[in-house]
Amino acid sequence: MTEADILNLISTGENDTCEFKSSFNAETIETLVAFANSKGGYVLVGVSNSGKTVGVNIQKETLQLWLNEVKSKTSPMLIPDVKALTVNDKTIVLFSVKEYPVKPVAVKGRFYRRITNSNSLMTASEVSELYMQTMQYSWDSYPYPNASPDDLDNAKIERFVTKVKDNRRLRISGTPMDILHKLSLIKDDKPTNASMLLFAKQPLMFDIQAGRLKTNDYILDNIIIRDTLFEVVEVTMKYIISHLKVAYEISTETVKKSTRRKEIFEYPLEALREMVLNSIIHRSYTNAGDIKIKIFDNRITIFNPGRLYGNLTIDDLKSDDYHPSARNKLIVEAFFLTGDIEKYGTGFHRIRTAIKEYPGMRFNYKEAQDGFMSELSYVPVDKTVDKTVDKTVDKTVDKTVDKTVDKTVDKTVDKTVKEQIIETINLNPHITQKELAEITGLTQRGIEWNIRELKRNNKIIRIGAKRGGYWKVIDKEDD
The CATH number linked to 444 is 1.10.10.10
Q: Which residues contact 289 (CB under 8 A, 6 or more apart)?
A: 305, 370, 371
Q: Is 443 among the domain residues?
A: yes
Is there a single domain that holds both residue 365 and residue 439?
no
Residue 94 pairs with which residues in a beta bridge?
44, 83
The CATH number that applies at residue 63 is 3.30.950.30
Q: How far apart are alpha carbons 244 and 293 in whole angstroms?
A: 14
Count CA within 13 A, CB hemisphere, residue 189.
1
Contact 293, 210 (CB under 8 A): yes
The total of structural domains in the chain comes to: 3
245 by Cβ neighbours in 10 Å (0-12 / 13-18 / 19+) ranks as: buried
Q: pLDDT per position in the chain (479 positions), as tens?
A: 888 889 999 999 999 999 999 999 999 999 999 999 999 999 999 999 999 999 999 998 999 999 999 999 999 999 999 999 999 999 999 999 999 987 899 999 999 999 888 999 998 888 888 887 776 678 999 999 999 999 999 999 999 999 999 988 888 888 999 999 999 999 999 999 999 999 999 999 999 999 999 998 899 999 999 999 999 999 999 999 999 998 876 665 544 545 566 778 999 999 999 999 999 999 999 888 999 999 999 999 999 999 998 878 888 888 877 777 788 999 999 999 999 998 667 889 899 999 998 988 999 999 988 899 999 999 754 444 444 444 443 343 333 333 333 333 333 334 578 888 888 888 788 888 888 887 777 788 888 888 888 888 888 888 887 777 888 888 754 54
Return the closest-CA partner of residue 156 out of 138, 183, 180, 172: 180
Helix, strand, coil tally for the chain in percent (to 5): 40, 25, 35
Q: E-strand spans in 23-135?
A: 41-45, 74-75, 81-87, 90-97, 106-107, 110-115, 118-121
Contact 38, 113 (CB under 8 A): yes
Is there a single domain that holds both residue 277 and residue 377?
yes
Domain boundary among 121, 140, 156: 121
Is there a single domain that holds both residue 234 and residue 364?
yes
Contact 276, 210 (CB under 8 A): no
Return the closest-CA partner of residue 74 out of 96, 106, 113, 41: 106
Q: Is 108 among the domain residues?
A: yes
Q: How far apart are alpha carbons 304 and 368 in whole angstroms?
A: 9
Q: How far apart are alpha carbons 149 and 195 in whole angstroms?
A: 9
Residue pLDDT, tens place only, 399-439? 333 333 333 333 333 457 888 888 888 878 888 888 888 77
Is there a single domain that holds both residue 248 and residue 367?
yes
Is there a single domain that holds both residue 57 and residue 116?
yes
Residue pLDDT, tens place only, 319-339? 877 777 788 999 999 999 999
- The radius of gyration computed from the CA coordinates of the chain, to the nearest angstrom, equals 29
Predicted TM-score (pTM) above 0.85: no
Most distant CA atoms of the chain, gap in Å: 100
Is there a single domain that holds both residue 451 and residue 353?
no
Q: Are strands 18-21 and 41-45 parallel, antiparallel or unpaired?
A: parallel
Q: Is 56 among the domain residues?
A: yes
Is there a single domain that holds both residue 112 and residue 11?
yes
Is there a single domain that holds both residue 291 and residue 428?
no
What pLDDT, on the 0 to 100 scale, is given for residue 343? 66
Q: Is 129 among the domain residues?
A: no
Q: Which residues contact 53 (CB under 8 A, 6 or more apart)?
A: 10, 46, 47, 87, 88, 90, 92
Domain boundary among 121, 149, 170: 121
Q: Is 26 among the domain residues?
A: yes
Q: Is 113 among the domain residues?
A: yes
Classify 27 as helix, strand or coil: helix
Contact 291, 207 (CB under 8 A): yes
Q: Is 335 among the domain residues?
A: no
What pLDDT, on the 0 to 100 scale, is given for residue 408? 31
Angle, CA 47 vertex, CA 41 and CA 50 arms, to 5°: 100
11 by Cβ neighbours in 10 Å (0-12 / 13-18 / 19+) ranks as: exposed
Region of 178 on the Ramachandran plot (φ > 0 left; ψ -120 to 50 alpha; else beta)? alpha
* One-letter identity of residue 360: G
Contact 191, 185 (CB under 8 A): yes
Q: Is 127 among the domain residues?
A: no
Count CA within 13 A, CB hemisphere, residue 20.
20
Is there a single domain that holds both residue 428 and residue 376?
no
Contact 376, 244 (CB under 8 A): no
Domain boundary among 86, 121, 156: 121
What pLDDT, on the 0 to 100 scale, is given for residue 344? 65
Q: What domain range is 30 assigned to?
A: 3-121
Contact 457, 451 (CB under 8 A): no
Is there a single domain that holds both residue 260 and residue 361?
yes
* One-letter identity of residue 18: C
- What is the 8-class DSSP label of residue 128? H
Is there a single domain that holds both residue 20 and residue 70?
yes
CA distance to 1, 157, 205, 308, 431, per residue, from 127 (Å): 33, 33, 22, 14, 57
Is there a single domain that holds both residue 222 and residue 97?
no
The CATH number that applies at residue 297 is 3.30.565.60
